[in-house]
Structures are given as structure tokens and as C-alpha cells.
Amino acid sequence: MITTEEKLIEISELAFEYPDGTLALRNINLDIYANQFVAFIGQNGAGKTTLAKCINGLLKPNSGYVRIEGLDTRERGTTKKIVTKVGYVFQNPDHQLFNNTIYKEIAYGPRNLGLDEKDVDERVKEAAQVCGVEEDLLKEHPFFLTKGLRQRVAIASILAMRPRTIIVDEPTTGQDLRQSLEVMNFLSNLWQQEGHTIVIITHEMPIVAQYAQRVVVLGQGQILKDGSTREIFSEPDLLAKTFVKPPQITRLAQALNEYGIPKNILSVPEMVVAFNEAREKNLGNQTSQKGS
């Protein structure tokens, strides 16, 4: 991808094997820049989560390296530093929330970093505001909130450490339309307005089509393709290798490609426009054929 932005994450020849011998990643070369919205897609077991965990230092490479803003994850004692550069939001907020007030929850990260209370307070209020968590909720206990709100508290607690890159594992799984749009719009806002790099791991292709700018396709531990969203979805055969299908509207467009509809349609409105154009052209040809 051509960009003038700063390189935040550099991954070279990364390979990772789990202790029980399962080979999870091999030959991974990937660069992630500032201000990007990336989606990792691929079947379960393809290595998406493993790659994400290598990026945030939870897993150390067996060979190759991962450098986060210049910091090599293999170096000892880097956990605290990495956390200020790459945040990771787990799929189930219940795995992450363990304080008895939301304030303490969001403050946990900054306090861990050794900041003084004034800074901590500032960061908590800032993160809460960005995540739409109202001030009077800060003294509430997380257990009784709705799932959507718990998820936002989890994101706020990561944001409080001010990482430039945020990895979100399955932001919309199990959510309904409105909740999905809410969280995705929020992440999109973090990207466009606040300048973060967002990496989402997801199975929902319509979400990828609507929000992601760049897609990394993983299959059997390797990167099958890395490109723009349109590029990726116009190659259904490649995606089939990792058991992924483009969004339904894209598949409709691809089935009608012989009539002049482009293969990389990503939304219904686009399809309507392309369809009308193609229809006019086709019918125009028909009339001119009849005429001649």
C-alpha cells in the first residue's frame, strides 16, 4: 500500500509455533502504518488472533521479529512499553473487567504505568468521553451494565493508555445491527477523527466492506493477500481458500459481471448505480443491434 504515513508496526519473517507443536504462523511479512483501518480475515485457525497477539507482544516470535514503533517485542521487560503503543480489546469484555467501579477500571492501565493521580484522572475522563461513557456512570459497577456499554468501557480502559494502534477482536460478533453500527462508527471515528490505527479481527464481511480500508487475508498461517478492500473482495476464489465469502451484494455483482457490472461492488447503493448503468448500456446495445 502506498502511503506517506509513519510506519508503526514492522513484521519480518515472523513464524510462531504453539508449545504443543501446532504451527500457527509462518513467513509473515507485514507493515502497518499510522492512520489505517485494517481488517484481518480468514477462517478460524488461520492465524488471525495469533498474529494480533504477536503484534501486541502477548506472544513472542519463534523466528523473525515484530517491531512496534521501533521497539522489538522479543526484548525483555517491554510489556509496559508495548501497552502504550498497541492496545488489544478482547472479544468478551467480561474477561477484562475486574474493578468495582468503571472509574477504577479505566484508571487501571494508567496507574499500572506509574502515572500520578492527576494524569490518571485526566486520562480517565478523556477516554470516557471519547467512548461515550457519561461521567455519572463512572462510579457504577461494570457487572450490571449492558453488553454494549461494557464493551465501550473495555475500549476506554485500553484508550486510557493512549496507544496509537488498537486491535479489536471481533467487535460485532453476537451484536445486532444497531449495536454493530454503533461500535463500528465509534471505531471509525477513532480512526478518522482521533488518528488511531485500527485493526479489527472479524468474520463479518459486510462490516469489512463498509468500514475497512485495507484487508489482510490469512489462511493456514500465511498471508494470502494484503490489499485494499475492493481488491480483496474482487477475488472470490482466493477468499474461498480460507473459507471466506465476499458480501452478498458483491457476489451478486460478480454473478452479473458478464453484463458489465464491476466485480468490486461493496454496497447496495453502489450496486443500484452500477446496475442502472449496465442496463442502459445493454439495452442501448440491443436497440442499436436491432437497428443495424
Partner 1 sequence: MIAVSIEDLGWKYSGRKNFAIEHVNLEIEEDTFTSILGPNEHGKTTLVSCIKGLIPQSFHGVWRGKVEVFGKDVRNQSAQALADEIGFVFADPEAQFTSMTVEEELVFGLENIGLPLHEVKDRLDWVTDIALIADLLDKSPYEISGGQKQRVAIASVLAMKPRIMILDEPTSMLDPLGKDFIFEILTNLKKEHSLTLIVVEHNIEQVAPLSDQIVLMYDGNIAKAGPPAQFFENSAFLYEHGINAPQATAFLDQLKSQNLYTGALPTDLKDAIQAATSLLKSKEPSES
Partner 2 sequence: MRFGKISRAFYTQLLIDMEQTIQTSAPPKQRKMRRTLLGTVPVVSPLYALHPVTRLFTLLFLGVVSLFILTPEINILLIILIFVYLKWAKVDISGLRIYLPLTVTVAIFMFTVSTIFPGAKPEYHPFKLLGITFYLEVFFFTFASYWRLMAMLFGTIQYFSTNRERDTLVAIRTLKAPFVVTYFFSLALRSSGMFLEDMRTIREAERARGLDESSISLRDRAKLYAMYMIPLFTLAIRRTDEISNALFARGYTPSGKIEKGGKRGDYILTLYPIRNIDIILITLMVIVFIAIAFLQIRYGIFSMENSPLYQLLLSRLS
Q: Is 53 in the site for partner 2 (CB under 8 A)?
A: yes
Which CA distances in Å does 53 have to 59, 170, 182, 220? 6, 14, 25, 16
Rank residues 35 and 172 by Cβ distance to partner 1 and give the closer one: 172
Q: Is 64 in the site for partner 2 (CB under 8 A)?
A: no
List the helix and strand counts (H, then E) for the chain: 11, 10
Q: Which of 3, 27, 29, 112 binds partner 2 (CB under 8 A)?
A: 112
The region of 32-40, 72-80, 229-237, 279-287 touching partner 1 under the rule CB under 8 A is: 279-287
Q: Which does 23 bind (CB under 5 to 8 A by kind): partner 1, partner 2, none?
A: partner 2
* Beta-bridge partners for 218: 223
Within 10 angstroms of residue 272's Cβ, the number of other Cβ atoms is 12
Please tell me whether residue 27 binds partner 2 under the rule CB under 8 A. Answer: no
If one asks whether residue 268 binds partner 1 (CB under 8 A), the answer comes out as yes
Is there binding between residue 87 and partner 2 (CB under 8 A)? Answer: yes
Cell 496507574 belongs to which residue? Answer: 111
Nearest Cα residue to 73 out of 52, 89, 90, 91: 52
Q: Residue 240, interface with partner 1 (CB under 8 A)?
A: no
CB of 20 to partner 2, least distance (A): 6
Residues 13-52 that bind partner 1 (CB under 8 A): 43-45
Q: For the segment 157-216, give every residue that binds partner 1 (CB under 8 A).
A: 173-179, 203, 205-206
Rounded to whole angstroms, the Cα distance separating 41 from 111 reads 34
Q: Select 138 or 249, whichever has its Cβ closest to partner 1.
A: 249
Q: Which stretch binds partner 1 (CB under 8 A): 94-102, 132-140, 226-234, 268-276?
A: 268-276
Q: Identify each DSSP E strand in 181-278 by its residue range.
A: 197-201, 214-219, 222-228
3-state secondary structure of 267: coil
